[in-house]
Chain A
């Protein structure tokens, strides 16, 4: 159960050490059986009988390789991401990760269940994360699951869980029932901003491909995650979300990053022509993005010419905003030992591997370069 936890007391040792690596996208898996265990009796009985109503993303676009996970990440019993011991060994210890941010994706489909069950699922995920993961390892930090399609209940859950300072952000799906910039969600964004918690949008939810219709293949879905992030960010900017909530910080997770440059140019050029339509946007869209948005590296972009990565990093203005992520235990895992592009300066590496995440999440540590 969630209790008040002061992160400085649990991380005393961390506070004094040099931090060289923060992984901002780690996926423990909560199985349906585990969910039933952590739900109150009324909803446990319901879910045991009827299951969950959301069609799973992995069923819509089946992962065609290694069942979507690192081939060596299967514990002796159960699914990748379910065994703390294996995750510690393969990820935290092997790669000497100083802090790892947990994002539990199995329940990103808020809105498919009736509101009380929607809220109960989020509570179960958060309670489970605190007890089964955060209590076991002071390198780990959590993301608060919320019933986003019921904003009032989502705010209540943020109020409940944010007393535990090991939870460092709110987790939302990149595809929600309405555009991310819709004022429907602003109370949730405000609740996060008031507490200094970033809102992380992770690819997922029920993206129905407005504008084109549904593609056929996982290749298109996965290679299109960055497009979904462009759609999301365009909505946040154009609907005035950042103008209305000046303290809001947003992290876009697992959509790649280097598309950001072209989006900034696109929105700036469009705003210069059309600004009289949106007087609430008083500054260039790129300035709002610069101020409010962080992104992660997953999956690391790999141009043939490594210079192009450096160009695109500069064009995107991401030096202070890009954060490293492994995406463990998924199939396209990026190893901190081998996935970084060539040619980064020592300072760029330090910010990318740790500094930018330390700043966004207020982690109790100082950055060092490995």
Chain B
């Protein structure tokens, strides 16, 4: 398989973002309109410096910018992710209001224009009660496919503080999508910052490993047996050794987490999926094949990650996959994972 053949896929991650507050103001009440007008709050995305090669350009700010991308790939379905809340603000009420406004903007600007499109419900981890309400508000729309949270958090995602959100996610059949970045200033280091963007960029994979363990260790999948989680833009090649170690340690200290009834890797393989960008693979095709065997190709779902550019890792992955595995990665696994949400 080669990259040029990627059409009619399920694309799990395309980025859109309001280019200015003007676009979302119509979806905010007068309090927040005046707050935004009068305050220093911004829409900046520290995660994606515009000059960095990995950023690739600005996310689509309106449907006309996205249309050529969709024409070229003609995806079966494409899931839009808006990371406009990934700032450094701490105000939970602002975050909840903006989440609602962003979701309405995505619906009116994109979803109504193209039936191939789906979107993630943006919610803020700063106010779980508001997040639950937002999911309930949009559940019947039919064009939202999952609940989006930033992988970086103040409290790990297995923690019981989030469980009301997982309850509504399970009830409504929405997967939880943890996307790279978020919560600016929360880097995986002792001081919580990184001196280079390079380090920050590579770190999403480290955070994802901690979050993966948190879901399992806290018993989220024992409590919510239908819940699904997808890690977006956090890589996946780190998975095999981390699962070996997790399984081995559980055999030793299971007493601490009696609700974990099976080996941790069983929960991960049943409940979790990972998108393909950034792929972060070896150069040698034989070694890629070895890695894919260890990861299990059924855990991977295709994402173009438009407009970002992580290099040629995905091309290397696709070239090393059998036709059958490539079909699963491009379409089959997502079709099963999202079910009716993308039918």
Report which A residues bind B (CB closer than 8 A): 63-65, 175-179, 181-182, 206-220, 222-224, 226-227, 230-231, 234-235, 238-239, 256, 258-259, 261-263, 265-267, 269-274, 276-278, 299, 301-303, 308, 311-312, 314-315, 331-332
Chain B residues near A315 (CB-CB < 8 A): 282, 287, 290-291
Q: Which of B206, B247, B257, B291 contacts A211 (CB 8 A)?
A: B206
Chain B residues near A175 (CB-CB < 8 A): 190
Chain B residues near A263 (CB-CB < 8 A): 238
11 A–B pairs (Cβ distance < 8 Å), ordered by A: A179-B195, A210-B189, A215-B217, A219-B217, A220-B210, A226-B245, A231-B206, A259-B241, A273-B54, A303-B294, A308-B240
Q: Would B237 and A262 count as touching, CB distance under 8 A?
A: yes
Instruction: Give, as a whole number of angstroms, the nearest-CB distance from B255 to chain A.
Output: 5
Closest to B235 in A: A266
Q: Would B203 and A234 count as touching, CB distance under 8 A?
A: yes
Chain B residues near A303 (CB-CB < 8 A): 240, 244, 294
Closest to B309 in A: A273
Q: Would A212 and B195 count as touching, CB distance under 8 A?
A: no
Instruction: Give, as a whole number of angstroms, the nearest-CB distance from B210 to chain A.
Output: 5
Q: Does B113 reach chain A (CB closer than 8 Å)?
A: no
Closest to A183 in B: B195
Q: Which of A208, A212, A258, A299 contacts B211 (CB 8 A)?
A: A212
Q: For the complex, give the distance between the alpha carbons of A133 and B188 in Å.
A: 37
Q: Would A301 and B205 count as touching, CB distance under 8 A?
A: no
Q: Would B52 and A223 count as touching, CB distance under 8 A?
A: no
Q: For the complex, give the distance between the alpha carbons of A331 and B253 in Å.
A: 10
Q: Which of A63, A177, A218 contacts B190 (CB 8 A)?
A: A177
Q: Would A262 and B280 count as touching, CB distance under 8 A?
A: yes
Q: For the complex, give the distance between the alpha carbons of A338 and B100 in Å.
A: 57
Chain A residues near B244 (CB-CB < 8 A): 258, 301-303, 308
Q: Would B154 and A213 count as touching, CB distance under 8 A?
A: yes
Q: Which of A179, A215, A256, A278 contacts B210 (CB 8 A)?
A: A215
Q: For the complex, give the distance between the alpha carbons of A261 and B205 in Å.
A: 13
Q: For the complex, give the distance between the alpha carbons of A332 and B197 in Å.
A: 37
Q: For the complex, give the distance between the alpha carbons of A218 and B249 in Å.
A: 10
Chain B residues near A176 (CB-CB < 8 A): 190
A274 with B52, Cβ < 8 A, contacts A207-B190, A212-B188, A230-B206 known: yes
A212 with B214, Cβ < 8 A, contacts A234-B206, A265-B280, A278-B196 known: yes
Report which B residues bind A (CB closer than 8 A): 52-54, 152-159, 186-199, 201-203, 205-207, 209-211, 213-214, 217-218, 235, 237-238, 240-242, 244-250, 252-253, 255-257, 278-282, 287, 290-291, 294, 309-311, 313
Q: Which of A182, A266, A269, A273 contacts B238 (CB 8 A)?
A: A266
Q: Would B199 and A239 count as touching, CB distance under 8 A?
A: yes
Number of A-B residue pairs having CB atoms within 8 Å of each other in the complex: 232
Closest to B209 in A: A227
Chain A residues near B196 (CB-CB < 8 A): 238-239, 277-278
Q: Would A217 and B195 count as touching, CB distance under 8 A?
A: no
Most buried by A among B157, B190, B211: B190
Q: Would A270 and B237 count as touching, CB distance under 8 A?
A: no
Q: For the complex, give the distance between the alpha carbons of A234 and B201 in Å.
A: 10
Q: For the complex, give the distance between the alpha carbons of A277 and B198 in Å.
A: 7
Closest to B197 in A: A277
Most buried by B among A65, A227, A269: A269
Q: For the complex, give the distance between the alpha carbons of A315 and B198 in Å.
A: 23
Q: Would B186 and A210 count as touching, CB distance under 8 A?
A: yes
Q: Which of A177, A239, A256, A259 contacts B195 (CB 8 A)?
A: A239
Given A216-B158, A238-B202, 15 more pairs with CB closer than 8 A: A178-B190, A179-B194, A211-B188, A212-B156, A219-B249, A220-B213, A235-B189, A235-B194, A259-B238, A261-B241, A262-B280, A274-B52, A276-B53, A301-B245, A302-B244
A181 with B241, Cβ < 8 A, contacts A219-B253, A219-B257, A224-B209 known: no
Q: Which of B197, B206, B256, B291 contacts A219 (CB 8 A)?
A: B256
Closest to A274 in B: B198
Q: For the complex, give the distance between the alpha carbons of A301 and B241 in Å.
A: 7
Closest to A302 in B: B248
Chain A residues near B291 (CB-CB < 8 A): 261, 311, 315
Instruction: Give, as a whole number of angstroms, the nearest-CB distance from B200 to chain A.
Output: 9
Chain A residues near B211 (CB-CB < 8 A): 212
Chain A residues near B213 (CB-CB < 8 A): 215, 219-220, 223-224
Q: Which of A217, A277, A299, A331 contacts B248 (CB 8 A)?
A: A299
Chain B residues near A209 (CB-CB < 8 A): 156, 188, 210
Q: For the complex, give the distance between the alpha carbons of A77 and B52 in Å.
A: 61
Chain B residues near A312 (CB-CB < 8 A): 240-241, 294
Q: Would A218 and B253 count as touching, CB distance under 8 A?
A: yes
Q: Which of A217, A265, A273 contacts B281 (CB 8 A)?
A: A265
Q: Would B245 and A179 count as touching, CB distance under 8 A?
A: no
Q: Which of B54, B155, B249 contacts A274 (CB 8 A)?
A: B54
Q: For the complex, give the distance between the alpha carbons of A269 and B220 in Å.
A: 33
Q: For the complex, give the distance between the alpha carbons of A271 and B202 in Å.
A: 9
Closest to A66 in B: B252
Chain A residues near B187 (CB-CB < 8 A): 210-211
Q: Would A262 and B253 count as touching, CB distance under 8 A?
A: no
Q: For the complex, give the distance between the alpha carbons of A308 and B249 in Å.
A: 18
A269 with B250, Cβ < 8 A, contacts A64-B255, A211-B207, A299-B245 known: no
Instruction: Give, as a whole number of angstroms, the nearest-CB distance from B190 to chain A.
Output: 6
Instruction: Give, as a whole number of angstroms, the nearest-CB distance from A38 to chain B.
Output: 29
Q: Would B205 and A262 count as touching, CB distance under 8 A?
A: yes
Instruction: Give, as a whole number of angstroms, the nearest-CB distance from B309 to chain A.
Output: 7
Closest to A240 in B: B196
Q: Would B191 and A210 count as touching, CB distance under 8 A?
A: yes
Chain A residues near B313 (CB-CB < 8 A): 265, 269
Q: For the complex, give the distance between the alpha carbons of A278 and B310 in Å.
A: 17
Chain B residues near A269 (CB-CB < 8 A): 278-281, 310-311, 313
Q: For the complex, give the distance between the alpha carbons of A299 and B241 in Å.
A: 12
Q: Which of A179, A218, A222, A266 contacts B280 (CB 8 A)?
A: A266
Closest to B210 in A: A212
Instruction: Give, as a whole number of angstroms, the nearest-CB distance from B188 to chain A.
Output: 3
